Chains A and B, each alone.
Chain A
């Protein structure tokens, strides 16, 4: 028995040993083959790297640079640090670069037919610099697609792009960029599917493109895309976009460079965040998560606290140097919108856009529609700065009547970007704002405008700005509260050293266009104005502020001209002053100028002046003539001598009342007045009163 066992055991072990030996030999051969092939591939790629670069450079008309090409068994080719640059290579920045490109080829095809047919291509951290090279896509996309097609040789191909970035704007070391990670499957039966995520971020250049160094400007948007290639383009079966508060669904077709899509979109929680009650994902939720490309019909979820953009219908045409929007129509809160326009890169990048609401209405019906809006935008990029014009036409109720209004904004040398805290930063070298109501218009020109816009807050949209204006400086803010309820806005404006005639004349003309202000700034006031204005519309529209004019003069002001003639004091025709100030408040009930104060060597004038909403005036003013002015007037000297007064400073206090168009005037009591009254006979008093009544009438009429 033992001998038999030993014989079977030895035959077993010999069989086992030969099997192991065979396996070992096979493995050795495979490993040897792999080592040899790796070694050979390494030599091949090292020798031919230059040739490959040259071939690609010739095809793409750009300098192609590849740090290294290596083969990773069994079927991967890895290209490290691939970049494209201009042939002249003047700029240090490259239009395209990728940390790694991995090509997976079909091993059976290679072994049997000795052909490299790619089945998967991975781009790792590709970067396209659209800020330096805005025409990169236009010039190269067809060739790059051609290379991919050649590599795939018409077979199904999987394309994956990880952490791609399209640099849109660069300022110093801060970069604003579109980031995307996506997968494309170019499958059998001409089917293309893609999923991915797109976001808008900013980051510091030296931090490269690592996830944790990015600031998300907008929430990342996921997309699902499914289409079928046709002879003339593709049929888009499903295009779905979604983020935390946004969802959109489209379908359509792309045919001979014309794309037509239809769909709808919802924006949730745009006013405030709803508290979401979290619950554990159930069985159905988990199934939904597993299915990447859903075909399950879903009900349209109308957003309660947001916006529903319904009936989206878009027709766009793609030409070689132009994208044309023939028609983009949609409806928001029962307001129909229509957009037409084009984006051109023919000689330079330009955009022309027209937006209309209620475009189907015409004539008087549209003119009287308060919700109608016509917006026209035309702009082009010149030397990396934007130049253009924005026109807004709309109807509004002004002074109780429907009026056609137009705002026109002309901007030159404009550039924009994002700050690290996700605000939009805009610089405009020259900005002209024209406001037109019916046939009246006013223009304001601002220079070196800096603006910071915070648009991400759900309730308050805020703009902070500063600019050069009327030879002075303006800064301020404007805030719009869009939370549910009446629309509320407010703003502050701080002015420094503005030329008063340049500023006040168009400013008050603009105010007069919108309201029945009974007064304006006299054309005879000159100087540099500083001040602060606060405006708001809640609880009621109104302005309050303080104003100060320094080192200016009053030239031929009617009241002082009369004083100059009456008292023979020609110095009063031009009154130089160091300081003219006042606090004011303007609202629907009252227009008030309080603490009015004119401080000049020739005279001092102070008091208050109110006009209520019925044009009724109430005012008290105090006018002081200093001694050194009175000594120049023979009339005054005689008068004072007759009254037995020594020539010294003389004060006159007045009270005004009545309507603004027919102001009543009273000289208030003083010692000087009492003595003068005793001196003058009655008939002369009446005569003086009659004369002054006529003078006041003529002054008010002139003003």
Chain B
């Protein structure tokens, strides 16, 4: 009997050691858990999962940019503008071709306006304008969409003389040029 118990224990240990899912599965799990928490209306828990993901994964991970953007969203939501600015700045520098880039820039614009009411962050404005060169032949605008890790729906409308950024159909930032 004793031998039988030892064998079962070693078998379970063996299964545990060799069939342990590994870190890649953790990333996906963390991400999915974060998304699920966001869908359930629990942004704090969603942020915890994304924050953990950011801590243990690298820039090359496919979840990293989404998690980074989501972290920035969360910081903005709770009014921590400094951390939000750091997150979105890092995002815009590390992922200049990301779909969420114009929205990260919109957040940075908003934070900058909140903090420095009299100054126009012109470099930021130029980055937002230069996101895509427009050729409006038959359209009035070009539209870009993005769904974030926290479940928010982002929309950017680029007209010839202005750009409008919406979050869940609410106007968030408007810049004239």
Contact = CB atoms under 8 A, between A and B. Distances in A.
Interface of A: 614-616, 618, 655, 657-659, 661-667, 673, 677, 680, 685, 688-690, 692-693, 696-697
A664 B136 contact: yes
B138 A665 contact: no
Contacts of B125: 614
Interface string B100-135: 000000000000000000000010011001100111
A664 B134 CA distance: 5
A677 B126 contact: no
Interface of B: 122, 125-126, 129-130, 133-139, 158, 160-161, 177
A658 B133 contact: yes
A440 to B, nearest CB: 27
Nearest to B138: A685
7 contacts: A658-B133, A659-B130, A663-B133, A664-B135, A685-B137, A690-B135, A692-B137
A693 B122 contact: no
A689 B161 contact: no
A517 to B, nearest CB: 18
B112 to A, nearest CB: 15
Count chain B CB atoms within 10 A of each CB in A618, A666, A689, A690 and give the residue with the most: A666
Contacts of B161: 618, 655, 657
A689 B135 contact: yes
Contacts of B129: 616, 658-659, 662, 664
A618 B161 CA distance: 8
A696 B133 contact: yes
Contacts of B130: 658-659, 661-662
A662 B135 CA distance: 11
A660 B169 CA distance: 31
Contacts, number: 66
Given A658-B177, A659-B126, A693 B133 contact: yes
Contacts of B177: 616, 618, 657-658
B137 A667 contact: yes
A688 B138 contact: yes
A692 B134 CA distance: 10
A664 B133 contact: yes
Contact of B135 (A614, A615, A677, A693): A693
B121 to A, nearest CB: 11
Contacts of A658: 129-130, 133-134, 177
B80 to A, nearest CB: 30
B127 to A, nearest CB: 10
A210 to B, nearest CB: 71
Contact of A692 (B122, B135, B158, B160): B135
Contacts of B158: 664
A655 B177 CA distance: 12
Nearest to B133: A662
Nearest to A656: B160
Contacts of A662: 129-130, 133
Secondary structure call for the B interface? loop
B133 A667 contact: no
Contacts of A667: 136-138
Contacts of B134: 658, 664-666, 693
Contacts of A614: 122, 125-126
B1 to A, nearest CB: 75
A665 B135 contact: yes
B136 A689 contact: yes
B136 to A, nearest CB: 4
A673 B139 CA distance: 11
Contacts of A618: 161, 177
Contacts of A696: 133, 135
Given A666-B137, A667-B137, A685-B137, 5 more contacts: A616-B129, A618-B177, A658-B134, A664-B129, A664-B135
Contact of A689 (B126, B138, B160): B138
A688 to B, nearest CB: 6
A614 B176 CA distance: 13
A673 B134 CA distance: 18
Contacts of A697: 133
Nearest to A688: B137
B130 to A, nearest CB: 5
A29 to B, nearest CB: 110
Contacts of A663: 133
A308 to B, nearest CB: 46
A692 to B, nearest CB: 5
A615 B126 contact: yes
Nearest to A690: B135
B3 to A, nearest CB: 73
B174 to A, nearest CB: 15
Given A658-B129, A659-B126, A664 B160 contact: yes
B157 to A, nearest CB: 13
Contacts of A680: 138
Given A655-B160, A658-B177, A666-B160, A616 B135 contact: no
B150 to A, nearest CB: 31
Count chain A CB atoms within 10 A of each CB in B130, B139, B161, B177 and give the residue with the most: B177
Contacts of B135: 664-665, 689-690, 692-693, 696
A665 B136 contact: yes
The 10 closest A-B pairs by CB, nearest first: A693-B135, A666-B160, A664-B134, A666-B136, A685-B138, A692-B135, A662-B133, A689-B137, A614-B122, A667-B137
A615 B123 CA distance: 11
A680 B137 CA distance: 12
Contacts of B122: 614
Contacts of B160: 655, 657, 664, 666
A665 B122 CA distance: 21
Count chain A CB atoms within 10 A of each CB in B126, B136, B137, B139 and give the residue with the most: B137
Nearest to A669: B140
A118 B88 CA distance: 103
A379 to B, nearest CB: 51
B135 to A, nearest CB: 4
A678 to B, nearest CB: 10
Contacts of A615: 126
Nearest to B161: A657
Nearest to B129: A658
Nearest to B131: A662
Contacts of A690: 135
Nearest to B140: A666
Contacts of A666: 134, 136-137, 160
Nearest to B135: A693
Nearest to B122: A614
Nearest to A685: B138
A611 to B, nearest CB: 12
B133 to A, nearest CB: 5
